[in-house]
A and B are shown apart, each in its own frame.
Chain A
Amino acid sequence: MPDEITSEITQMLQAMKHGGQTAEDLLPLVYGELRRLAATHMAQAAPGQTLQATALVHEAWLRMVGAGDRTWENRVHFFSAAARAMRHILIGNARRKSRLKHGGGQLRVDIDELNLAAATPDDKILLMDEALERLEAEDPEKERIVILKFFGGLTNQEVARILGVTERTIERQWAFAKAWLFENIRSQT
């Protein structure tokens, strides 16, 4: 995203924190960004595999604003919050669908009964989500990168900028995290 926009976002966030602005003032700016982000990704996503980008953005935004937590320190915090909101929505969505398929009732997928090869994409997302919790316990920094990249849909470059590290670092950590997560999931199923 262009520098001027991100720094504007930071300014807005700061102003909001001091009570001068509301999240709604921020909406046009951030919404535009999130929308653009989602739209570009949607263009390349296989049909049927994804949520409606618009719906996702709306839902995430409402969740973020609705939670009353409006004291985002800066854009790192903001984007992390946005990504976490998206994670919540996606996981909730997958869980609902998975419950329907597996006959409902359970809150979590019973991973003992899952064969990874036969798992549906929704099951896989849930498995991933669980593995992610284990990653967080071990290495919270990588968990954050995964959330920004996977749920936030940000590119390496964007994540690097947000976290203030090099793109190469993100590339490396993302590669490691993916292998780690997959290996973790496989060893659990």
Chain B
Amino acid sequence: MTKTTQQVEALFDAACQLVNPAARRTFLDEACAGDATLRARVEALLAAQSDADKFFREIAPFGSTPRPGTEPATADTAATDTRIPAEKTGPTEGPGSRIDRYKLLQKIGEGGCGMVYMAEQEKPVLRRVAFKIIKLGMDTKSVIARFEAERQALAMMDHPNIARVLDAGATETGRPYFVMELVRGVKITDYCDQNHLDTDERLDLFVQVCHAIQHAHQKGIIHRDIKPSNVLVTLHDGVPVPKVIDFGIAKAIEGKLTEQTFFTAYEQIIGTPAYMSPEQAEMSGLDIDTRTDIYSLGVLLYELLTGRTPFDAKMLLQSGLDEMRRTLREKEPQRPSTMLTTLQRTELTATAVQRHAEPPKLITLLRGDLDWIVMKCLDKDRRRRYETSNGLAMDVQRYLNNEPVIARPPSRLYRFQKLVRRNKIVFASGAAVATALLIGLGTATWLFFMERAARREAVAAEELQYLLRQDAERARANEAELRRQAEIREKITLADVRVNQNAYEEANNLLNGYAPTQPSLEGARVFRAVGEWQALQGRWPEAANRFGVLIQINKFDGWDMASLDFLRLGPALLEMGDVQGYEHFRQAAIARFASTPYPVAAERVVKISLLRPADPNTISALTPLAELAAKSFANVAPGNTNAETVFQAAWGSLSLALMEYRQGNYAKAEDWCRHCLAYPGDNPPRVAAARVILAMACRQLGQRQEATRQLAQARENIKTKFGDELDPGSAEHGFWFDWVFARILLREATSLMDTAPAVSKPSASMSGD
């Protein structure tokens, strides 16, 4: 088979998976980029599909409808890899039936998903259990295989607010069943409304639910289907206890869900789309993690507080699949308090009465902290949600204790970014779809070759087992990874609390052995704080370690904070003597900010990358950044009345002085230093650094006296500063790392004074260290 044919086949297969014509088009646009012949070929084949099916049905010597039970009729069209045939036989299980070691007693519920019976388990112990039979005739074997893959993890869950899943199997009619701890309770929302629980009482229950979810997350289990009907409240000695049920079931039965089955099956299988996270709505299947549950918890909290879900379930379903996805992905829900103000008077009164409050008071109660807590859970970008369920619980607890909460109204910048995002979404979502598809395509092609290779040696009888084993292994590996991530997020949340209490040592200890790689605001805050704490005590290797993690995860902080983080790490590396680490560091800094449009960020990168002499490649990589800085700062007069401008120009001049010095342009370096020193403002480390560079430039130019004079002043200032305990400092008067920066240059200058010849050639500066 030629390469093109393989390509055509891979594209055809990938496109078949896309039922949505627009998605197909976008995909083909991307994948065929410019190759019109290829595209025409694939499109011709796609177009031929339905006629081809008809053609083959017509001429098939055996008739084309396969035997029941082996292949559903739809399996002959490639776009269908889903197995949810209509039910062939009516339910035959009922009270009195015996299934494996269970005897069904009475029906206790009928959900979308199936029937729930109370059943009696006879062996190994006699007990009553809840027995759930999945209604749809779906691929029972794979449902059970998926369940088996997670069974070990499920068995490890042991929490008073979690109903355990005990067993799974298949009934004689081939339907999957799940056996769970029997919970006699009512939906949490119903319980709260019937008992007129006020907001605080509702929050108390909610916090317990969060703790249950946290427990599961720590075991690597994601619920995926948190909604009121899966959180039941029972009374223990008159005290309400919420119990989360159905763990592991959503994952086991949702595997085969695709676009085609969505409307017929989704509601029955998964339940209400109102609780579905944006990433679940994507149905990529790959991308679900613990923060999906955080989203659903947010919806639950929303409903507990307002009696409504952020998006109306009926409207979501009626709007059509694409529109529903768009809503979940892009539309900002109303804040809970705003939602209440839009209600009809009578509705509002009813909602308030159920919450034991007067309407206006209820609105005021929600406005502010509770609004923000809910909205933080519901963020479209899961990285902005609470990192962990415990983090959410703690914030609710803080609200209950009248402490300030972590969730905050978004800043103006944040809202602006949102606006940009909303307007870019058409483009961005197109790009995202295309990327996801290309990855999928890569996988498809890869699998295609793998399967080909495997075919030569595969022993057919082992094939099925092998696949199941692989599935299980993949699931286990995935589980371990989820567990690890959940653990990291948990540590970060705990460390954040310690940092807020200024308990840096404890925070630091919590982070030992953890090096997150996923960007997160909370994570960056913690690693920054702990790194600074180490740095201020001169523990440079530890500080460098924390800052090293920091620059990996500070992507949400914006250029200003992020570029300052590089100013933190660079000096720490040199103070611990890690010259090689510094080399890597400065390449990373240049790479990260190479195309920054901000002169201040450019100036910072130039400065921090030249703490040591640099080779010509590094210099030329820095040149565009230096030019950007020079353009902005060259013409700022010392008498300029804008303090901010003057401040930036002073720092910019220092960076440019260093840039010239490193290139051997000593006269220009001297010029920039004098510029820098001419600006007003009380920033001692900047002044000290400027004097040091000036001293080195003068020395290279043969002005020994001036060099000695400047260096002596700088040395005095720096010595005095480091005589005391270092403090964090401030932007205005200089941060600790600005001082360390100056001190590192001072060392270079000192050794230059001792060793350099009286008049040196420009090239000597390259090896002047």
Q: Which residues of A contact B (CB under 8 A)?
A: 3, 7, 38, 40-42, 44-46, 49-51, 53, 56, 86, 90, 121, 124-125, 128, 138-139, 141, 150-151, 153, 155-157, 160-166, 168-169, 171-172, 174-176, 178-183, 185-186
Contacts and interface: CB of A to CB of B under 8 A. Distances in A.
A124 to B, nearest CB: 5
A42 B52 contact: no
Contacts of B81: 168, 171
A155 B70 contact: yes
A124 B58 contact: yes
Given A150-B56, A168-B81, A171-B75, A176 B45 contact: yes
Given A50-B63, A124-B59, A182 B75 contact: no
B78 interface: yes
Contact of B52 (A40, A160, A165, A183): A183
Nearest to B466: A166
A171 B79 CA distance: 10
Given A157-B70, A171-B78, A128 B48 contact: no
A160 B459 CA distance: 11
B66 interface: yes
B143 to A, nearest CB: 16
Contacts of B77: 175
Given A160-B463, A164-B455, A164-B463, A51 B61 contact: yes
Given A124-B55, A125-B59, A3 B66 contact: no
Given A179-B12, A183-B48, 11 more contacts: A41-B62, A41-B63, A46-B63, A124-B58, A139-B1, A139-B5, A150-B61, A153-B61, A178-B76, A179-B46, A181-B52
22 contacts: A3-B461, A38-B62, A42-B63, A45-B63, A49-B63, A56-B61, A153-B61, A155-B67, A161-B461, A164-B458, A164-B463, A166-B451, A166-B467, A168-B81, A169-B451, A175-B16, A175-B79, A176-B13, A179-B45, A179-B52, A181-B52, A183-B44
Contacts of B460: 160-164
Secondary structure dominating the interface of A: helix
The 4 A-B pairs with the shortest beta carbon distances in the complex, nearest first, are A175-B78, A45-B63, A182-B52, A41-B62
Interface in B1-45: 1-2, 5, 9, 12-13, 16, 44-45
A128 B59 contact: yes
Interface string B710-742: 000000000000000000000000000000000
Contact of B60 (A7, A40, A150, A180): A150
Contacts of A46: 63
B334 interface: no
Contact of A186 (B9, B48, B458): B48
Given A171-B78, A179-B12, A155 B66 contact: yes
B15 to A, nearest CB: 11
Nearest to B462: A164
A20 B52 CA distance: 46
A138 B78 contact: no
Interface string B446-482: 0000010011001111010001000000000000000
Contacts of B78: 171-172, 174-176, 179
Contacts of A165: 451, 454-455, 458, 463
Most chain A beta-carbon contacts within 10 A, residue among B1, B55, B61? B61
A82 to B, nearest CB: 13
Contacts, number: 124
A167 to B, nearest CB: 9
Nearest to A162: B460
A155 to B, nearest CB: 5
A164, A176, A179 — most chain B CB neighbours (10 Å): A179
B141 to A, nearest CB: 12
A127 B65 CA distance: 22
A20 to B, nearest CB: 23
A39 B16 CA distance: 32
Nearest to B6: A139
Contacts of B51: 182, 186
Nearest to B46: A179
Nearest to B1: A139
A86 B60 CA distance: 12
A185 B52 CA distance: 10
A153 B65 CA distance: 10
A125 B60 CA distance: 8
Nearest to A146: B56
A37 B522 CA distance: 63
Given A162-B460, A186-B48, A44 B5 contact: no
Contacts of B76: 174-175, 178
Contacts of A49: 63
A95 to B, nearest CB: 14
Nearest to B42: A179
Given A41-B63, A165-B451, A176 B70 contact: no
B632 interface: no
B48 A182 contact: yes
B636 to A, nearest CB: 65
Given A164-B459, A164-B460, A153 B59 contact: no
Contacts of B455: 163-165
Interface in B564-590: none
B49 A179 contact: yes
A56 B435 CA distance: 50
A180 B45 contact: yes
A151 B60 CA distance: 8
B71 interface: yes
Contacts of B48: 179, 182-183, 186
Contacts of B454: 164-165
A157 B61 contact: no
A179 B460 CA distance: 27
A175 B58 CA distance: 16
A183 B78 CA distance: 16
B615 interface: no
Nearest to A151: B61
Given A172-B13, A182-B55, A161 B463 contact: yes
Given A178-B56, A183-B45, A183-B48, A50 B62 contact: yes
B53 interface: yes
A84 to B, nearest CB: 14
Nearest to A75: B460
Contacts of A174: 76, 78
Nearest to B2: A138
A51 B463 CA distance: 34
A147 B680 CA distance: 87
A85 B145 CA distance: 39
B62 A175 contact: no
Given A155-B71, A165-B455, A178-B52, A7 B63 contact: no
A55 B63 CA distance: 16
B340 to A, nearest CB: 50
A138 B45 contact: no
A19 B380 CA distance: 71
Contacts of B71: 155-157
Contacts of A151: 61
Contacts of B52: 178-179, 181-183
B463 A40 contact: no
A42 B58 CA distance: 14
B63 A178 contact: no
Given A3-B461, A164-B463, A90 B61 contact: yes
A135 to B, nearest CB: 11
A128 B60 CA distance: 11
A63 to B, nearest CB: 15
A5 B147 CA distance: 31
B481 to A, nearest CB: 25
Nearest to B45: A179
Nearest to B444: A172
B463 A44 contact: no
Residue from the set A161, A162, A175, A186 with the largest chain B CB neighbour count within 10 Å:
A175
A165 B449 CA distance: 12
A162 B455 CA distance: 10
Contacts of A183: 44-45, 48, 52
